[in-house]
Structure 1
Amino acid sequence: MDRKLNPARSGPPRGFTLIELLVVAAILATLATAAGLAVARPPAAEADAARFLRVAEGVRRDAVAGQVWRGLDAGGGALRLWRLGADGTWQTVGAPLSLRGRVALRQVDVRMPTGAPDIVLAPTGEVSGFEVLFSGGRDAAVRCMAGGPTPVICR
């Protein structure tokens, strides 16, 4: 037999190169990560209500501990923090905290002075009456409310 070993292939190449396999694996890994993040993310309404609850209770504790008036606005896709200045005017504090879904706020306490934020937290721990509805797309809506000395409740 007179067979020669020829390292060069004759005909069309068969199979995939290592680079092609690595590119496909990288694309699949990226897609799997994006899908996992989308599934693991809580619904917008629940996430927004949880953030609002944490912020509202933190602002209440701050008002009581510092014996100062604090405020909170929820609307326009963000939470804004307020404080009552020494001159008696309300001033925003820090940057707005973004929300993912829609927010509808209804003031229950209509005795709020002009220029005050939607929600006012007193140094005594009392809160002006309010009801906030968080919704986001197909998510179930979450309602948060408070008024007087009761803590903020979300359902």
Structure 2
Amino acid sequence: MEHPLTGTTRGFSLIELLVSVAILAVLAVGATLALGRPRPEQADAALFRQTFLDLRDLAITGQDIRGMRIGPQGMRLARFSKEGWQVSDSEIRWSGRVTLSGTGYDDGAAPQIVLLPSGQSTGFAVTLGKIQCRTDGWGPLQCDG
């Protein structure tokens, strides 16, 4: 609209508004793509850490023995009962490469990581890409890398 005294226009048109919104949308998409996704080992480490802590809490609160069976493709959760180890049929899959070391005996059926009602666990080191999560069984779980 033209100002009656100065003859200048005030405000902006709908086209100018739409162009501004389109430019902001393109910048937002660019910023989102620049941030990227977390690396597979970061996702695996977060999944392993949370699962370990949840199982430890279940072992403590339920006063029963829990376990984790770690494989190169994924992990299975387990619970000890009067009949022995009950290992889950469903496998939580890894998105990257995972190796387990330092657990001692492995018969292929029982979980390699055992969590006791006292809060203690089997000592182990799990390597998830460049990240390693480990504990001696007495101290807390530590993940770094």
Q: TM-score, normalised by structure 2?
A: 0.70
RMSD: 2.2
More strand by share: 1
Query: 1:61 maps to which residue?
Result: 57
Q: Is the 8 A contact 1:126 1:147 kept in 2?
A: no
Offset of residue 76 of structure 1: 2.5
Q: What letter matches 1:142 in structure 2? A: I
Residues 73-111 of structure 1: CA distance to partner in whole angstroms, max 9, x if unpaired?
222321210111222x21113621111000010024x3x
Return structure 1 stretches of 4+ with deviation > 4 angstroms: none
Point out where structure 1 has 5 or more consecutive residues left out of the alignment.
1-28, 136-140
Point out where structure 2 has 5 or more consecutive residues left out of the alignment.
1-25
User: Are 1:95 and 2:90 an aligned pair?
Assistant: yes
Offset of residue 64 of structure 1: 0.5
Q: TM-score, normalised by structure 1?
A: 0.66
From 86, 102, 107, the equivalent of 2:102 is: 107
Q: What letter matches 1:145 in structure 2? A: R
Query: 2:112 maps to which residue?
Result: 118
C-alpha spacing 1:41/1:71, structure 2 compared with 1 (3 Å): same
* Paired residues, number: 115
C-alpha spacing 1:79/1:113, structure 2 compared with 1 (3 Å): closer
